[in-house]
Amino acid sequence: MFAPAYYRERLSSLPQVAVEAGDYSIIKSTSAFRERLLELIQQASHRIYITALYLEADTAGEQVLRALLEAKQARPELDVHIFVDFHRAQRGRIGEKAAQTNRDFYQRICAEYQHPVCIHGVPVKNREVFGVLHLKGFVFDDTVLYSGASINDVYLHQAERYRYDRYHEICSQSLSDSFVRFADEHLRENPAVKPLNDAENCQHRKIKPAIRRSRRILRNAEYEYAPDHVDGQIGLTPLCGIGARGNRLNRAISDLVRSTERELFICTPYFNMPRSLSRDINGLLKRGIKVTIVVGDKTANDFYIAPDQPFSTIGGLPYLYEHNLRSFARRHQNDIDSGLLNLMLWKHSDNSYHLKGLYADGKRAMITGSNLNPRAWGLDLENGILVQDNGQQLQAEFEHEQMLILANARRIDNYRQLEKVRDYPAEVQQLLKRIRRLKVQVLIKKII
């Protein structure tokens, strides 16, 4: 492995869009994110592009969709495009039976309006389990609102519960144009991408050849823009990637980790890191670099099922992640004792945790929808924005964001603070035993 300076040079050589500190802000809460999202929809004058895993058929989803449609009725020339995962839009939530799918919901709501918006279903793979559209980023005219959040009640704190994420607002025509250009060229004009708000039958069996061709195209897709960054300015590099080979986003994340000289701060909701990323973190600890990892408590996981509720297989995931975390903490107990490694467990009432991203040395950061797990590393179509701020003009904003994240997190001082398998509910123990007996741990780690 090369010295950190080598990786810093690799990152600094990437083409960058320059922004002023005043054009970059971080929204501090989930409810404020919802309010800002609706405000930007109302204010948009010529284009709105929304890319997310899903727009849910619930109260918040309907509020956002109707806001988009009302903006379109008021300004018919407004260019409104929504991109969601093709497969996710045509099923209910995992573990639940749905009276209607999201696609049914889109068709019902859009039919009420004279000027519909365009809702596109993007199939990344033939089956959802092998890869989904996990690109993030909302464009309103020349503003990019970037978050790992999708659109539903819990992501937008519509009721009592919320799912905590990161919410970055960037005013930049160049960055906005690059996001729109990518969506137009690689998604909107893609033959595999189908409209979801009309009655066309678009079963995936009929578009399998188009999906295969699309996958080859997406592997080579990248954001296009004219670099205008000079020394002393904040530089942004939008990146995307799919698959383990030649993945520009994965490579930038690895370079970011390896570039660290003093301190690395990582957020991930699902503790199941790719082997290469774990190896890089081990390398930092051996070099005496401080590493903080903030991960959700198992009860703050999207898939957690309380012991007094009916159990389903998907409810075993939070326990698998905790088992991974306990093993990692046990291997690094000496680093924990020395203060070199801080494992922080986030929990706030019955809310859930969905933060992703990295900060290095207070000068470089990655905001991303990538969960930093093998699935994100090798299956899903992911993106992110690398932020390089050598003058630390955004330091106060990033430090405040970290403070808010840590406000509901506690440090793990000893791996024994995490439950063992024998402490889990009987159904979870049986599931984990079955996984070990069938020797499918490696396969499962790649797809969760």
To the query of whether residue 335 is one of the catalytic residues in this protein, the response is no
β-strands 118-122, 79-85 pairing: parallel
To the query of whether residue 134 is one of the catalytic residues in this protein, the response is yes
Identify the active-site residue in 186, 354, 361, 401.
354
Q: Which two tokens stand for residue 110?
A: 């859009």
To the query of whether residue 204 is one of the catalytic residues in this protein, the response is no
Identify the active-site residue in 120, 134, 323, 332.
134
Identify the active-site residue in 58, 153, 165, 297.
165
Which of 197, 165, 220 has its CA nearest to residue 81?
197
Identify the active-site residue in 297, 382, 389, 401.
382
To the query of whether residue 165 is one of the catalytic residues in this protein, the response is yes
Which of 152, 180, 171 has its CA nearest to residue 50?
180
User: How many beta carbons lie within 10 A of that of residue 232, not counting itself?
Assistant: 10
Catalytic residues: 134, 165, 354, 382
